[in-house]
Structures are given as C-alpha cells and as structure tokens.
Amino acid sequence: MGLVTTAHSMSLDGFIADTDYRGDRLQRWLQAGDTQSRLNPAFKMSPESAIFFDEGVGRCGAVISGRRTYDVSNAWGGNGPMGPLPLFVVTHSPPDRVPDGPLPYTFVTDGVESAVEQAKRAAAEQDVVLMGASMVQQCLRAGLLDEIIINLVPVLLGDGVRLFEAGSAGDYELVIDSDIPAPGVTHLTYCVVR
C-alpha cells in the first residue's frame, strides 16, 4: 500500500504561501530550467528537480485537500490539483456549487480519518497526497502521515501561511530519507517516526 505523504515548497523562514495564500516565489524552481517534466509539460526545471518531481508525482494515486485550500484555489477550475487523480475535500459543509469538469470531487464531512480511508481505497497501491497546512497537521496528529517532502527555497517571506504553526502539530521525530540539491531549491524528504 502507498504512503500518506505531502509535498510543499517552503521559504527558509517556514512559509508555504504569502499572506494572500499565493506561493509564486516558492514555485519558481518549477520553471527554472530546460528539462520538461514527463508528467506535467507546463513545468521546465533543472534535471535534478525534474527527476525528483516526476518520481514523486508518479507515485500519487489520490489527493486530500482542506476546504480552505479548495476555496483559495477556486476549486482548481474543476480540473483538480493533480489532473485526473481523485480528490477528497475535508469540510464541515460541502459547497453549494461545484465547478464543471472531468473530475468528480468527493466532499468528506466526517473527518480526516475517513478521508484518508476513502483516498487509500481510491489510490490502490499508490500514495495519497495531502494539500494544505491543516490537512498535514490533522493527519500528523492522528498518526496517519508517513512522509513529509519540503522543497526548500532560498527566500525569506517574512509572513504568510506556515506549514506548522507553533503547537499545531505536537512533538514528533522525523528521519531524513533524502536531500537533493538543485538550482534554486533543495528537495528534502523526511519519514515520520511512529
């Protein structure tokens, strides 16, 4: 069975988006080279980043998002955050209207544990990817998160959205699985110690 994982680009001072919930400066590494991604032709990265990106995305089978991420992204225009992968949105109340698109969205109102269970079934043997700080924090507290990938970008944002707010996650130990330096980013993969 696949992992429950998350991957976020992060500033050196710990932010995954600015105060407007945008991460443009943090995503520049996706366009900082001439090697096209096999899985997303819109991205041209360094060779190191392209290999890392394609291997990670190639393992994904389903996505879980929180409602805030869903709203901020304008529901990804009905196309989902990762193309055709099934999307599960954890929320207290589903939206009244869902944009038309090829991807059915599943709104989960009975908690993150249920969302992970449903997403694992949909992903089969592949990974379940968490999007947004709240989902990562909730899954970590529930003992459901296996892996954290940080694409560390050498910028200081000064303010914005943190992946981990003080006291939000608890006390956990991580083991570094890999660190891959690339132009404009260092890809860090951590395993969560249970």
Q: Report the domain count for the chain.
A: 1
pLDDT at 184 over 70: yes
pLDDT (tens digit, 9 = 90+) per residue, 101-149? 787 789 999 999 999 999 999 999 999 999 999 999 999 999 999 999 9
Range of the domain at 10: 4-192
Write down the pLDDT at residue 169.
Answer: 59
Q: What is the CATH number of the domain that holds 63?
A: 3.40.430.10
Residues above pLDDT 70, as percent of the chain: 96
pTM of the model: 0.92
* Cβ contacts of 39 within 8 Å, gap of 6 or more: 53, 54, 57, 58
pLDDT at 77: 82
Residue 86: how many other CB atoms lie within 10 Å: 20
3-state secondary structure the chain: CCCEEEEEEEECCCEEECCCCCCHHHHHHHHCCCEECCCCCCCEECHHHHHHHHHHHHCEEEEEEEHHHHHHCHHHHHCCCCCCCCEEEECCCCCCCCCCCCCCEEEECCCHHHHHHHHHHHHCCCEEEEECHHHHHHHHHCCCCCEEEEEEECCCCCCCEECCCCCCCCCCCEEEEEEEEECCEEEEEEEECC
